[in-house]
Every structure is written in structure tokens, then in C-alpha cells.
Chain A
Amino acid sequence: GESVGLHLPTLSVQEGDNSIINCAYSNSASDYFIWYKQESGKGPQFIIDIRSNMDKRQGQRVTVLLNKTVKHLSLQIAATQPGDSAVYFCAESPTIQGAQKLVFGQGTRLTINP
């Protein structure tokens, strides 16, 4: 069945360092992937997305890598800041259009140490 999971539940990095958050997915038919950031008491906030026809996409300080061969997704955050501390979820969808059902992973709590 569909499932999206994360390798590590917690990650601590020093402020200014780069962080990498990983995600494994099981639905090889997934066409669209999103990383969300969730701060305490708030809803998921869009960070970056990637289509299955791409293997890398860059945003501001963030990069998403997609390896379809091993069904692995990662989020790289460069030069981490205290405001990056949050729980990060990957989500996947089998479609890119219409009403999309997102399947979320368990989440990784990222803590930025001063």
C-alpha cells in the first residue's frame, strides 16, 4: 500500500551547518513530492516540491533530491538558522493535477543548536 516514512525521528545540527533530512516512499507510481515544515501549534507550511521527472530542485537555502531508483527523497537545508527548528514532513501524491490526496511521512524534528 501507499506509505511514506522517514529514517530518523530527530536531528540536531549546529547553527550555520547544513542539514539533510531523509524520506523513503513506497509507492513507485507517485508523481509529486512535497516537503512541509511544521512549527508547534501551526499547520504544515510548504517548503519545496519536486515532480517525478526531476531529480533535483533548488529553492532559497533548500534543495530537494529525488532518487526514484531507491524511492528516496531528501531535503537539504543550507546554513541553518534558529528559525529552521521545526518538524519536517515529506508528502507524496500519485497525481499532479486535480484533487490531490497527500500521503505524509512520520516527520523529523530538526533542532538547531546555537
Chain B
Amino acid sequence: EPEVTQTPSHQVTQMGQEVILRCVPISNHLYFYWYRQILGQKVEFLVSFYNNEISEKSEIFDDQFSVERPDGSNFTLKIRSTKLEDSAMYFCASSYDRGRVNYGYTFGSGTRLTVV
């Protein structure tokens, strides 16, 4: 079964450093997403991406965050200057339209980001 792959599984970084979280969405999917989950809390939407541009972003997704699809397979989330409160699990997801209905919304296993 196709999977969304995320690397690394765990990243530790110092406050103020830049981090890049990487994702390989399912190959025929068109829509890409990042979510985060602070420990013990619900999953929160960060951003959606389609046709090489952001479709929607949440208020969490401020100027410190950016996304990029640098090639035909990878989808990255960059945090420019990490803060302690950025510590969370970050999930990548992807989906596609089948007919007129969004389909196959699949999440990766996540990257646990720890900011120290």
C-alpha cells in the first residue's frame, strides 16, 4: 500500500536554528499538507499546497515557516528560527481528487521535533 514517507523520524535542534523536515508524498497525489501535534494534544492544520503554491495556511504558519516542493517527489517544511514551542510531532499528508471528491488523504508517520 502506498505510503507517505517522512524523514527524519526524530530531530533535536537548538533554539534559533533552522530545521527542514522532509516528506515524500504518494506519487500520484496532488495536494500536500503539513500538520503538527503538540504532545498530548490534537492534530492541528498548518498548511496545504497545490500546484506549487500554498492553498491555505493557519495562523500558526507564520513567517518563520515555509514550504517547498523542490523536485517532483519531495515536499519540505522549513522552520527558519526554531522556538521551544515548536517542539511537536509534524505530520505530512497528501491526497488527490477522484472525480470531484478528494480521496486518499494519507498521513506519514511524523517527525518528532525537539527544540532545546
Contact = CB atoms under 8 A, between A and B. Distances in A.
Interface of A: 32, 34, 36, 41-46, 89, 91, 93, 95-107
A39 B57 CA distance: 27
Describe B's contact surface by its main secondary structure: strand
Given A42-B109, A43-B107, A43-B108, A101 B56 contact: yes
Interface size class of chain B, counting residues whose CB lies under 8 Å from the partner chain? 20 to 34
Contacts of A95: 102
Given A42-B110, A100-B48, 4 more contacts: A99-B48, A99-B49, A100-B105, A104-B42
Nearest to A95: B102
A98 B97 contact: yes
8 contacts: A34-B105, A36-B107, A45-B107, A46-B106, A98-B55, A101-B48, A104-B43, A104-B44
A97 B56 contact: no
